[in-house]
Structure 1
Amino acid sequence: MILTKEKVSEFIEKRKPIFEDWRHTFFLWRRTKLAVIGTIIVFVFVIIAIFGPLFVPYNPLLQNMAERLQPPSFQHFFGTDQFGRDIFSRVISGSMIEVEIILIVSIISGGIGLFLGVIAGYFGKVVDEVLMRATDMFLAFPSLILAMAFAAMLGPSLVNTIIAISLVGWTVFARLARAEAMKVKNQPYIEAIKALGAGKARIITLHVTPMCISPVLVQLTLRMGTVILTAASLGFLGLGVRPPLPEWGAMVSDGRSFLLDQWWISTFPGIAIAVVVLGFNLLGDGLRDIMDPRLRR
C-alpha cells in the first residue's frame, strides 16, 4: 500500500481523539506531584529488580563465616549478616522476588475479583447474593490473619505465599467490579446492544468488563504496597519464602537477634520495604486523582 499525504492525514484525524486523551492524561500526571514521585520510585524499583541481580558484587546465597557481621563499608555497602552474606547483594536480588510476588498476586487476585464482581453485578439476584456472601465471609477476617492461616496450611514457599495472598486479596476488587457492573448494565447503550440480539456472554465480555477495568487497575496499584507488606509479614513470621532466598521480610527477621549491635542486618531490608511501599501508595493516590472526573475537567 502506498502512503499518500491524504491517507496519513486521514489516519491522524481518525486517531486524534486518542492522541488528545493521552496528551491530557500526561498533562494531569505531570501536574500531580504524588503520581510523579511514585512513578519514579516504582520505575527505579523495577529497573533494579530486572537488572540489579546481574551486577551484584557478591553471590547473595554464598556464606562466608570469616566476614560475618561486618558493618557497612566500601567492601560491603550494607554490611554482612550472621552468615557472612553481603546484605547489599541480598537486598538487590530480593527485589526480583518482590516483583514476582506483586505481579502474580495482582494478576490472580485482580482477575478473580474482576470476574466474580462483573458476574455478580450483571446477573444480580441469587448469583449476586451467593457471590457477595462468600465475599463477606473473607472480609470478616483481617486479611493478614487469613493469609497467615492459608500460608500455615500450605507450608512456607514462594508459590504458597503467592497463593495465600491471592486468596485473601480478591475481595476488594470484586466489590469494586460489582458496583461498576451494576451501574454499566443499566446504561442505554447496553439496552440497545440487547435489542440488536447480542448474547449475555458477548455483552459481559466486550461491553461491561472493559468499563470495570479502570477502577480495578487503580485499586490494584494502591494494593501493591499492601501485597509487599503482607509478603514481608509472612516472611518475618517464617510462613513465607523459605531461606536462604533473599526475601526482604525474612531478612528483617534474620536480624532480630542482632538488632542492638548489628543494626544493619534488619535496617536496610526494612528501608527497602518502606520506600517501595511508599512509592506504590503515592502512585496509586496519583492515579486516583488523575481518574477523578472533576480533576480531568
Structure 2
Amino acid sequence: MLLKNKKFLIGFTFIIVLTLLSVMYSIFLYKIIPDPPKMIYGENNKLTDAPPYPPSFKFLLGVDRFGGDVFWKVIDGAKYTIAIAVIVSLFRIILSLIGSLIYTFYLGKLRFFIEAGIRAYRFIPAVILAIIFFVAVNMPDITPMELVIQQTLILVIIGIVPLVGYLAAETRVFLDFDFISCSRILGASKGWIIKAHIFRYLRPRLFILFTQQVAQTLLLLVHLGVFQIVIGKEEKITSFNALASSDMVTLSLSNEWSGLIGLSYQELMLDKWIIVGPSIGFVLTIYSFRLMGKGIEESFTTREEVKEDLVIEDNREIKPFIEKKPFDLKHN
C-alpha cells in the first residue's frame, strides 16, 4: 500500500537516487568527470576569465572561486547531509519513545513539574542551543571523527525534550481507551500493554514523526550554516584569484551543505549563485521528506478507513441474524 502512494514514491526515489549518486561520485565518478578550467584564454592567448564562473550548460550551478564545480560539490556533500539528518532523527525517535514510556508509566507523580519544564524548553530556539554547544566542543586538538560524533549527539539531545512531551501525551490519550482498562482488569502488565497495544498504536505516528524530524534537522543545519557553524572540521586556506587579490577563507572538508552555504557568506555580495546550489539541495531534500511523510500519513489513513468499512460490513451481515425472531414452538 505504501509503495503505491505517489507522494511517498516520489520523495523516496529522489532521496535514494541522490544518495546513490553521491556515493558513486566519491567512489569513482570524481576520477571520470574533468575539472573546470583554472583559466580561460581568448584570442592571442590573452587571459579573459578565471573562476568563479557563472552557471551554464557545461556547469549547471557554476564554478566557485576555488575552481570547484558547485553541482558536483552539492552531490558529494549530499550523502553526509542526509546521513546526519537521518541518524539524528532516528536516535531522537528511539530515545524519545523510551523516555516517554518511562515518563508515562513511572513518573506520573512528577507530571506537573515535567510538563512545566517541557513547555519552558519549547521557547528556547534549537539553533541557539546548538551554537552554544557546538562552539564548546570544537577544541583545536579534537579529531574530526570525535567532533562529528559530539556534534551529532548535541543535535540528538536538543530535540528529545519536545518529542518526549508529544509522545507521552499521545500515550496518555491511548491509555484512556476502554479496551486498555479491560486489559488491566484482566491482569495485563505494563510490559504487555506497551508491547501489544502501545507500539501498534504509535508505529504509524513514529514513521510520520521520523520524516518530520529529518526535515527539521535539515532546516536546523541551514540555520547553523548561516552562522558559519558546520558539521566536522573546516580548513582555512588562502584564496587567490588570477583577476583579484588573495584573501584567507574557510572551507568545509566534507562539502556538507550547511558548510557550503555558511562558509560562502562573502559570496552574497559577489557571486550569489555560488550558494544557490546547496540551497536548492536543501529545499528539494526537505520537500522530498515532507512528501514521504504525507504519503505515509495518507497510506495509514486509507488502511484505517478500509478496516472501518470491513467492520461496518461485518456488522451489517450479523445484524439480520440478531434481529430475527426465535422460532415458535408449537405444542400438539
Structure 1-normalised TM-score?
Answer: 0.75
CA contact (8 A) 1:255 1:266 kept: yes
Per mean C-alpha deviation after superposition, the further-off stretch among 91-100 and 120-129 is: 120-129
Alignment match, 2:284: 275
How far did 1:63 drift?
A: 12
Match of 1:173 among 156, 163, 175: 163
Distance 2:69 2:32 in 1: 8
Deviates more, 1:138-147 or 1:244-253: 138-147
Structure 1 counterpart of 2:20, from 20, 44, 47: 47
SS at match of 2:95: helix
Residue of 252, 262, 267 corresponding to 2:271: 262
1:87: Cα distance to partner? 2.1
1:150 corresponds to: 133
**Number of residue pairs matched?**
269
Match of 1:89 among 69, 72, 82: 72
Change (3 A) 1:258 1:238: closer
- Contact 1:143–1:169 (Cα < 8 Å) also in 2: yes
Measure, in 1, the Cα distance between the counterparts of 2:169 and 2:220.
26
| Residue of structure 1 equivalent to 2:11 | 38
Asked whether the 8 Å contact 1:173–1:219 carries over to 2, the reply is no
Contact kept? 2:23, 2:76, Cα under 8 Å = no
Change (3 A) 1:223 1:136: same
- Structure showing greater Rg: 2
In the other structure, the counterpart of 1:184 is 174
Deviation of 1:76 (Å)? 4.5
Which whole-Å CA distance do the structure 2 matches of 1:234 and 1:134 have between them? Answer: 25
Identity %: 20
Shift of 1:193: 4.5
- Matching residue's letter, 1:259: L
Alpha-carbon distance change, 63 to 79 in structure 1, aligned in 2, over 3 angstroms: closer
Per-residue displacement from partner, 1:152-197 (whole Å, max 9, x unpaired)? Answer: 3333843333223212222343233212211333445444544565
Residues 128 and 55 from structure 1, CA distance in 2 versus in 1: closer, same or farther, beyond 3 angstroms?
farther
Q: State how far apart, in whole Å, the 2-side matches of 1:205 and 1:46 are.
A: 34
Give, as a single letter, the amino acid of the residue that structure 1 aligns with 2:26. P
1:184-223 pair list within 5 angstroms: 184-195=174-185, 197-223=187-213
Deviation of residue 135 (structure 1)? 2.4
Which structure dedicates a bigger proportion of its chain to helix? 1
Q: Deviation string for 1:12-71 (max 9, x for gaps)? A: xxxxxxxxxxx4x555x24xxx444433433333333443433443699x9997664233
SS at 1:92 equivalent:
helix
Distance in 2 between residues matched to 1:83 and 1:133, nearest whole Å: 51
Once the two structures are superposed, residues 140-159 of structure 1 have per-residue CA deviations (whole angstroms, 9 ceiling, x without a partner) of 21222222223233338433
Mark the runs of 5 or more structure 2 residues left unpaired by the alignment. Answer: 40-49, 140-146, 235-252, 307-332
- d(CA) in 2 for partners of 1:182, 1:59: 57
User: How far is the alpha carbon of 1:97 from its aligned partner?
Assistant: 0.8
Distance 1:272 1:237, change over 3 A: same
Residues 149 and 205 of structure 1, relative CA distance in 2, 3 Å threshold? farther
| Higher mean C-alpha displacement, 181-190 vs 162-171 | 181-190
Shift, 1:226, TM fit: 1.6
- Unpaired runs of at least 5, structure 1: 1-22
Give the counterpart letter for 1:41 in structure 2: F
Paired with 1:128 and 1:112, the residues of 2 have a C-alpha distance of: 19
Q: Do the aligned partners of residues 163 and 282 (structure 1) sit closer, same or farther apart at CA in structure 2, a change above 3 Å counting?
A: same
Bigger share in strand: 2
1:262 shift after superposition: 2.8
Matched residues in 1 for 2:37 and 2:192: separation?
Answer: 60
Matched residue, 1:290: 299
